[in-house]
Amino acid sequence: MPWGVSLTSLLEKHILKDDIMDVNRGLGIRVSGTKAELIKALLAETDRSPKGTLRLFSKPVLQDVCRKLGLSPSGTKEQIITRLVAAEQRPASNPAPKKAKKAQPRNEGAGEGPESSGAVPRIRLIPKGQKKAAKP
pLDDT band at 47 (very low <50, low <70, confident <90, very high): confident
Q: Are 71 and 98 in contact (CB under 8 A)?
A: no
124 vs 42, more confident? 42
What pLDDT shows up at residue 2? 40
pLDDT recorded at residue 85: 86
Lowest average pLDDT, out of 11-15, 103-107, 110-114, goes to 110-114
The pLDDT tens digits for 59-108 are 999 999 999 888 999 999 999 999 988 877 665 544 455 555 555 555 55
Q: Is the pTM here over 0.85, yes or no?
A: no
**Whole-number average pLDDT of the chain:** 77
CB pairs under 8 A, 24+ apart, for 86-93? 88/1, 88/6, 88/7, 88/9, 88/10, 88/50, 89/1, 89/6, 91/1
